[in-house]
C-alpha cells in the first residue's frame, strides 16, 4: 500500500512536472506565428538594410558587394539633397502634427459633451467616414478637389472673385502650398480615427474629478488644463509618437502628388531614398540604406525626446 | 503548500524570458545571416549563356496595365492565340516604370513571366540588360519580321548589335490643336515654325478663343528633348547623356519659356499619378478645351479630344521647327522584352508576331473605340505600305502626317540615365522658364552638372 501510495505520489509529481512543462510550452506555440511574422517581416529586413548600408551594394550590378564601412554615411551626411529632403519632412510634420493632435482632441471633447445618444452616435459615424475610405480613393478625391483646371475649390474661389483663373492657387504645384495641401488632406483623413482615440481616453476619466473641480470653482479652461489634459497624456504620447513617425516617413502621397521633381517640397528624404534605391543609375541601395538609417536615427532621437516630454509626473 | 524553489508557477511568459530565451538567439542568428560576406548573399549572379528552354507552364506574358486600358483588342488577340497554344496572360505588378520585381526574380535565376510587354528602350532597357534580366530576341524573332522593322525603330531597340526590345506601340512627339478654337481666333493654317506657334497662341489668347494659347508636358523627354531635336539632333555627349549646354538645347529652352508665358499657369506642375508622369496639367487643360495648341505624343491629344463635345475639331500635325532647323522630333516605342529566366521563348516570339501584326489592334488604335483612342502606330514597314496601297475606310488623315515625322525623328539614346537625367535636370532648367534665373546658359549648365554629379554618385 505504501509502495502504491509512493508510486502514486511519484507519478503525481512526474505528471505535475510534465503538465507544467506542457503549460509553459503552450505559450511558445501560440507565439510562433506572431514571432515568425515579426522576425521575418520586421526584424530581418531592418538588420539586412543595416548591413547593406555599410556596403557598396548596387542592385543592378553583377559584382559582389564590398564592405565600405561608414563611407555611405559620410557621403549621405555631406549630401545637400538628403538634408534638404529631411528638412522638408520636418516642415511637413510641423504642419501636420498640430492639426492631427489638437483638432481631434477638441472634437472629442465636444462630442463627449453630447448627452443625446442618437446624436452622439451620429456625430461619431460622420467623423469616421473618411477613415473607412481606402487610400487610393482619398488621393483621387483630393486630386480632383485641388485640380487647378477643373477642381471645385479653385472654381469656387474664381466664382467668388477672390482670385482669377490665372491667379488661382496651384495647390499641388506651388511649392508654398503643396505641403499644407497634403497636410490638410491627411488631417481630414485621420480626423475621425484620432477622435475615437481621445473619446476612449475621455471615457476613462472619472466624472467625480470634474464635479470636484467644479465645486472648487474651476472654469472650463482649468478643467481642461488640470483634469482632462493630464489624464489624456498616455493617449497623447501614443498619437504624437505614431503620427510623428508616419509624417516623417510619408512617401506614397509625395510620389502620387509630386513625382520626382527635386524642386518641389515633396521631394523629401524618403522620396530621395526610394529614387536612389529603385531608379537612379545602377540602384545604389547601399547608399539609399544609409540615407534611411540617418533619417531613422534622427527620428529616434526625437521620439526619445517625446517620451521624456510626455513622461508620467505622478 | 509551499512551492519548490525555482518552480515556475505563473504560466505567462515574462518579458525577460521572451527577450533572453528567444529574442537574443534569434537576433544573433539574424545578424549572422545578414552579415553576408562579400561575394555571398548580396552578390548578383554572374552573366551566363542563354538557358535551354523549359516548358513547364503555358506562355505567360505580362502587360503594363495602361496598354490593356488603351488597347481593348488585346484580350481578343489573346483568345485567338489560345486556340494555337496555352496562354496565361497577366498584368504586371509594377508602378510607374518599376522593374524591381523582375530584377529580384532574375537574381534568383527565376521569372514568373516569360515576356513583358511595356518596356520603353530609353527608360528601363539599359537597366534590365545590366541586371541580366532580359536576353535578345535574336534567336527567336523571324528574319522577315526583323527586316520589316522600320530602321530607326530597329536601331532604337538594338544594343551592341542585339535586339532587346520587340517594338510594338510607336509614339512620336507632334503638335495637336483645337481647330474650332484656332478658327475662332482667325487662324486658318497649321503652325510650321515655333514662331508661328507663339504668334498663333498669342492670337488665340488675345481673341478670347481660349484662356491659353499652348500647353506642353513639362517632363523633359516630352518637351525639351523633342523641341531640341527640331533644331538639331546632335545634342548628346559621347556617353549618350543629353547635352543641356548645347546651343540647340538652350534655344529649345527659350522656346519653352516663351510658350510658358502663353500657357496655363500650372503647366510646369507634375502629374498626379504614377510618380508624377501621368495625369499632367497639360492633359487637363487640353481636355477642358482651355488651350488650343498642344505639344506631346500623338496619343495625348487624341485621348483628351475624345472628351470634347466635337472630337472632330482635333487636328494633328508635325512638330514645328525653327527656320533652318533640322525639323526632327523624339519618338519611342513601347515593346516587349524576353525574360532570360522565362520559358516558352519560341512561343513568345510567335505571340509577339501575332499581337503586333494584328489588324484589329491598329484599327482600334487609329480610329478609336468607345473606351480609348490611343493613336499609337505599328513599327512595321509592310503595314504602312499596305495602307498606302489600299487605304482602309477607317484610316485617319493624321496618320501619314505623324508617320512622316518618323523619318526625321530620333530616339533618346539608351543609357541608364536615359529618363532620369531629365528628372534631375528639370528643377534647374525650369528656373530659367520661371524667371528665377535670367541666363539660360547658367540654368542649363546647372542641369548638366547635377546630372553628372548624380551619375558619379550612383556609380
The pLDDT tens digits of the residues spanning B356-390 come to 999 999 999 999 888 888 899 999 999 999 999 99
Nearest-Cα distance to chain A for B424, in Å, is 7
Mean pLDDT of B243-255: 98
CB of A255 less than 8 A from some CB of B: yes
The pLDDT tens digits of the residues spanning A163-179 come to 988 899 999 989 999 99
Q: How far apart are CA A83 and CA A99, in angstroms?
A: 25
ipTM score here?
0.81
Q: How far apart are CA A111 and CA A125, in angstroms?
A: 11
Average pLDDT over chain B reads 88
- The residues, ordered by sequence, that sit 6+ positions from B31 with a Cβ below 8 Å of its Cβ are A47
pLDDT reported for residue A314: 61
In the structure, what pLDDT confidence band is assigned to residue A94 with cuts at 50, 70 and 90?
very high
Nearest-Cα distance to chain A for B161, in Å, is 21
DSSP per residue, B47-71: P-PPPPP--SS-B-EEE-HHHHHH-
CA–CA distances in Å: residue B139 to residues A63, A160, B50, B348: 27, 66, 10, 12
Q: Which residue has the higher pLDDT, A59 or B98?
A: A59
Sheet strands (E) in B319-391? 331-339
pLDDT reported for residue B15: 61
- Please report the domains of chain B, with CATH numbers, ordered by start residue: 61-170+332-404 (3.40.190.10), 171-331+411-458 (3.40.190.10)
Of A8-12, A22-26, B286-290, B356-360, the range with the lowest mean pLDDT is: A8-12
CB of A42 less than 8 A from some CB of B: no
Which A-chain residues 178-217 have CB contacts (< 8 A) with chain B? none
CB of B279 less than 8 A from some CB of A: yes
Residue B230 pLDDT > 80, yes or no?
yes
pLDDT reported for residue B29: 57
- The residues, ordered by sequence, that sit 6+ positions from B316 with a Cβ below 8 Å of its Cβ are B174, B175, B176, B298, B301, B302, B398, B401, B402
Q: Does domain A74-309 have CATH number 1.10.3720.10?
A: yes
pLDDT reported for residue B373: 85
pLDDT reported for residue B174: 94
Query: Which of chain B's residues have a Cβ under 8 Å away from the Cβ of A258?
Result: 270, 276
Instruction: Tell me which residue of B230, B219, B236 sits closest to B424, measured CA to CA.
Output: B219
CB of A148 less than 8 A from some CB of B: yes
DSSP three-state, residue B297: strand
Q: How far apart are CA A85 and CA A291, in angstroms?
A: 10
Of A214-223, A245-254, B103-112, the range with the lowest mean pLDDT is: A214-223
In the structure, what pLDDT confidence band is assigned to residue A220 with cuts at 50, 70 and 90?
confident
Helices (H) and strands (E) in chain A, counts: 15, 0
The pLDDT tens digits of the residues spanning B165-180 come to 999 999 999 999 999 9
Q: How far apart are CA B283 and CA B300, in angstroms?
A: 7
Which A-chain residues 152-171 have CB contacts (< 8 A) with chain B? 165-168, 170
pLDDT reported for residue A8: 45
Residue A306 pLDDT > 70, yes or no?
yes
Domain ranges of chain A: 1-52, 74-309
Inter-chain contacts counted by CB atoms under 8 A, chains A and B = 173
**Contact state of A261 with B423 under an 8 Å Cβ cutoff:** yes
Burial per residue of B134-156, b for 16 or more beta-carbon CB atoms within 10 angstroms, e otherwise = bbbbeebbeeebeebbbebbbeb
Place of cell 499657369: B265
The pLDDT tens digits of the residues spanning B295-305 come to 999 999 999 99
Which pTM value belongs to this model? 0.85
Instruction: Tell me which residue of A279, A267, A277 sits closest to B421, measured CA to CA.
Output: A279
Instruction: Tell me which residue of B211, B201, B206 sits closest to B256, measured CA to CA.
Output: B201
DSSP per residue, B157-170: TEETTEE--EEEEE
Closest residue in A to B8 (Cα–Cα) = A20
> Across the strands, what pairs with B90?
B62
Query: Which of chain A's residues have a Cβ under 8 Å away from the Cβ of B35?
Result: 51
Q: How far apart are CA B384 and CA B403, in angstroms?
A: 9
CB of A31 less than 8 A from some CB of B: yes
Amino acid at each position: 500500500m505504501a509502495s502504491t501510495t509512493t508510486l502514486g505520489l511519484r507519478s503525481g509529481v512526474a505528471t505535475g512536472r510534465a503538465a507544467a512543462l506542457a503549460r509553459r510550452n503552450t505559450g511558445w506555440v501560440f507565439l510562433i506565428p506572431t514571432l515568425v511574422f515579426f522576425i521575418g517581416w520586421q526584424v530581418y529586413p531592418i538588420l539586412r538594410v543595416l548591413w547593406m548600408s555599410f556596403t557598396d551594394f548596387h542592385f543592378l550590378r553583377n559584382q559582389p558587394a564590398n564592405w565600405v564601412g561608414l563611407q555611405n554615411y559620410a557621403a549621405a551626411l555631406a549630401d545637400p539633397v538628403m538634408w534638404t529632403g529631411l528638412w522638408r519632412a520636418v516642415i511637413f510634420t510641423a504642419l501636420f502634427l498640430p492639426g492631427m493632435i489638437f483638432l481631434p482632441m477638441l472634437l472629442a471633447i465636444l462630442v463627449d459633451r453630447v448627452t443625446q445618444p442618437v446624436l452622439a452616435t451620429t456625430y461619431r459615424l460622420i467623423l469616421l467616414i473618411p477613415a473607412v475610405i481606402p487610400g487610393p480613393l482619398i488621393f483621387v478625391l483630393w486630386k480632383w478637389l485641388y485640380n487647378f483646371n477643373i477642381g471645385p475649390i479653385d472654381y469656387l474661389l474664381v466664382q467668388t472673385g477672390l482670385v482669377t483663373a490665372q491667379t488661382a492657387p496651384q495647390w499641388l504645384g506651388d511649392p508654398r502650398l503643396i505641403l499644407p495641401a497634403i497636410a490638410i488632406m491627411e488631417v481630414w483623413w485621420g480626423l475621425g480615427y484620432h477622435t475615437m482615440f481621445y473619446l476612449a481616453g475621455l471615457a476613462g476619466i472619472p466624472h467625480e474629478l470634474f464635479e470636484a473641480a467644479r465645486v472648487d470653482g474651476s472654469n472650463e479652461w482649468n478643467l481642461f488644463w488640470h483634469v482632462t489634459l493630464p489624464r489624456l497624456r498616455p493617449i497623447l504620447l501614443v498619437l504624437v509618437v505614431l503620427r510623428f513617425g508616419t509624417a516623417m516617413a510619408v512617401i506614397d502621397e509625395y510620389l502620387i502628388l509630386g513625382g520626382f521633381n527635386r524642386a518641389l517640397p515633396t521631394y523629401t528624404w524618403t522620396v530621395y531614398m526610394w529614387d536612389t534605391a529603385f531608379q537612379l543609375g545602377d540602384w545604389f541601395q547601399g547608399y539609399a540604406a544609409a540615407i534611411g538609417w540617418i533619417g531613422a536615427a534622427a527620428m529616434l532621437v526625437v521620439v526619445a525626446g517625446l517620451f521624456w516630454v510626455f513622461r508620467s509626473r505622478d | 503548500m509551499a512551492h519548490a524553489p525555482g518552480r515556475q508557477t505563473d504560466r505567462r511568459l515574462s518579458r525577460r524570458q521572451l527577450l533572453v530565451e528567444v529574442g537574443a538567439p534569434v537576433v544573433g542568428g539574424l545578424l549572422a545571416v545578414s552579415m553576408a560576406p562579400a561575394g555571398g548573399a548580396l552578390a548578383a549572379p554572374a552573366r551566363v549563356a542563354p538557358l535551354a528552354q523549359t516548358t513547364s507552364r503555358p506562355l505567360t506574358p505580362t502587360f503594363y496595365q495602361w496598354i490593356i486600358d488603351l488597347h481593348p483588342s488585346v484580350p481578343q488577340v489573346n483568345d485567338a492565340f489560345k486556340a494555337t497554344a496555352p496562354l496565361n496572360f497577366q498584368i504586371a505588378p509594377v508602378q510607374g516604370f518599376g522593374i524591381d520585381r523582375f530584377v529580384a526574380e532574375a537574381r534568383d535565376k527565376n521569372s514568373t513571366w516569360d515576356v513583358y510587354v511595356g518596356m520603353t528602350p530609353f527608360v528601363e532597357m539599359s537597366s534590365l540588360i545590366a541586371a541580366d534580366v532580359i536576353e535578345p530576341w535574336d534567336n527567336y524573332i523571324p528574319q522577315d519580321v526583323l527586316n520589316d522593322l522600320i530602321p530607326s525603330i530597329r536601331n532604337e531597340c538594338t544594343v551592341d548589335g542585339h535586339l532587346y526590345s520587340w517594338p510594338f506601340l510607336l509614339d512620336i512627339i507632334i503638335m495637336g490643336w483645337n481647330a474650332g478654337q484656332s478658327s475662332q481666333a482667325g487662324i486658318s493654317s497649321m503652325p510650321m515654325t515655333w514662331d508661328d506657334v507663339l504668334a498663333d497662341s498669342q492670337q488665340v489668347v488675345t481673341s478670347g478663343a481660349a484662356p491659353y494659347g499652348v500647353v506642353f508636358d513639362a517632363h523633359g523627354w516630352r518637351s525639351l528633348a523633342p523641341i531640341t531635336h527640331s533644331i538639331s539632333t546632335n545634342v548628346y555627349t559621347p556617353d549618350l547623356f543629353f547635352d543641356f549646354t548645347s546651343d540647340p538645347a538652350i534655344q529649345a529652352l527659350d522656346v519653352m519659356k516663351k510658350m510658358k508665358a502663353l500657357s496655363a499657369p500650372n503647366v510646369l506642375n507634375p502629374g498626379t499619378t504614377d510618380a508624377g508622369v501621368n495625369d499632367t496639367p497639360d492633359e487637363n487643360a487640353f481636355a477642358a478645351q482651355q488651350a488650343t495648341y498642344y505639344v506631346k505624343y500623338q496619343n495625348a491629344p487624341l485621348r483628351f479630344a475624345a472628351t470634347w463635345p466635337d472630337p472632330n475639331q482635333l487636328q494633328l500635325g508635325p512638330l514645328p521647327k525653327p527656320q533652318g532647323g533640322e525639323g526632327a522630333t523624339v519618338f519611342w516605342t513601347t515593346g516587349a522584352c524576353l525574360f532570360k529566366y522565362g520559358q516558352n521563348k519560341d512561343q513568345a516570339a510567335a505571340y509577339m508576331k501575332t499581337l503586333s501584326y494584328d489588324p484589329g489592334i491598329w484599327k482600334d488604335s487609329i480610329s478609336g473605340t468607345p473606351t480609348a483612342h490611343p493613336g499609337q502606330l505599328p513599327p512595321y514597314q509592310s503595314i504602312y505600305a499596305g495602307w498606302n496601297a489600299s487605304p482602309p475606310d477607317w484610316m485617319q488623315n493624321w496618320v501619314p502626317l505623324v508617320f512622316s515625322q518618323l523619318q526625321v525623328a530620333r530616339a533618346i539614346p539608351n543609357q541608364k540615365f536615359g529618363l532620369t537625367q531629365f528628372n534631375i535636370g528639370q528643377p534647374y532648367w525650369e528656373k530659367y522658364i520661371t524667371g528665377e534665373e535670367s541666363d539660360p546658359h547658367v540654368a542649363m549648365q546647372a542641369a548638366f552638372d547635377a546630372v553628372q554629379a548624380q551619375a558619379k554618385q550612383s556609380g
